[in-house]
Structure 1
Amino acid sequence: MDLDKLDRIIKNEENWDEFIEFLNTINEDYLKTVGKYDLFRISFYAWYVLAEWGILSPKLEKCLEQAENILIDAFKIATEKYSNDEDYLWFYGYLISVFPEHFLSIYSDYLKAENAGKQMLNVALQMQYTLAIIFNEKFLEKNVLESGKKDLENMFDKSTEVYDYFIRMIELMLTTNNF
């Protein structure tokens, strides 16, 4: 599977039929074979489409169930492999706390999902993980924000939508707090 091609489709918001074909090729067996950061990327793409589908294209409505299945399967696999990892805690904690409704099949209740995401972020924060510090908005100093950007570079290629998304969030925090 060419995740870079998948990223280009999402970034350019075009050729949704090809995107839907990609989604249909992703299954639990495939997700078990990919590395941590590729698993995160796939989770992000599924989450992003679920969160933004109305803005992106009405064509995507027919693939929302598949996207949610991919997100949940990826989350379960990541939980099995990386549950004590600070990258995992921050990344999925963020995804869950921002859109808990996409994790209801795991947590069964919106507030339980939201609290689980916040708890994951809090654990990563207690580990002094830079990105958790930034996205908990507890400690917004310019050097911490710059360190968070470097952490993202280590996790995701700079040319990916997942990298761009989180950089946009950090830059929004920078402008909001007048750094």
Structure 2
Amino acid sequence: MDLDKLDRIIKNEKWEKFAEFLYAINEDYLKIVGKYDLFRISFYTWYVMAEWGILSPKLEKCLDQAENILIDAFKIATEKYSNDEDYLWFYGYLINVFPEHFLSIYSDYLKAENVGKQMLNMASQMQYTLAIIFNEKFLEKDVLESGKKDLENMFDKSTEAYDYFITMIELIESENKK
């Protein structure tokens, strides 16, 4: 599966093609992809549900599939990487920002939100730069630069996932300059 093509489909809002990709992803595939590809797939499904799902009637028919993939990817990532700081930060962020997409696991909005916060806190305690930035809004230049480098290690600079998190860091920077 070409995740770069999937990234281009999302950037260009080609929702019919996105739906085709979703139906090609299954649990067996998720089990064999690498950590960062699993993160990318999770991000794409989360991002489309969070940012585009309610805005595009063309996506309505595949939102359940997107959520199923997100949940399956999260479960697999939890089995493989539950003590990994990348995992804790990444899924902690996704869960904290949109807990409603994880209700099938946590059954309660506040419980899901708290799990996301706990994951971010654990990654922050491990001194993981991205967790510090997103959890504590830490703005020392060297920490921000380190966080940007961590993102480059996870996601190619040309991906929607990278762009999204860089934009969030820049938002944090601009909010704290006011």
Same fold (TM over 0.5): yes
2:177 is paired with a residue whose SS is coil
RMSD: 1.2
What is the percentage of aligned positions where both structures have the same residue?
87
| Aligned twin of 2:3 | 3
Amino acid paired to 2:43: F
What residue in structure 2 maps to residue 175 of structure 1? 174
**Pairing 1:29-108 to 2, within 5 Å after superposition:** 29-54=28-53, 57-108=56-107
Offset of residue 174 of structure 1: 1.1
Distance 1:158 1:138, change over 3 A: closer
1:139 Cα shift?
2.3
Summarize deviations over 1:50-105 as a string: whole Å, max 9, x none: 10124652200110000000000000000000000000000000000000000001
TM-score with structure 2 setting the length: 0.97
Using structure 1 for the length normalisation, give the TM-score.
Answer: 0.96
8 Å Cα contact 1:142/1:174 also seen in 2: no
Q: Write the distance in 1 (CA, Å) between the matches of 2:91 and 2:125.
A: 16
Unmatched tracts of structure 2, length 5 or more: none
Q: Which consecutive aligned stretches of 4+ in structure 1 deviate over 3 angstroms post-superposition?
A: none
Structure 1 residue matching 2:136: 3-state secondary structure: coil
- AA at the equivalent of 2:119: M
Query: Match for 2:127: what amino acid?
Result: Q
Residue 72 of structure 2 aligns to which amino acid in structure 1? D
Q: Distance in 2 between matches of 1:89 and 1:100?
A: 15
- Deviations along 1:10-68, whole A, 9 cap, x unmatched? 1122x211110000000100000100000000000000111012465220011000000
Conserved 8 A contact 1:93-1:116: yes
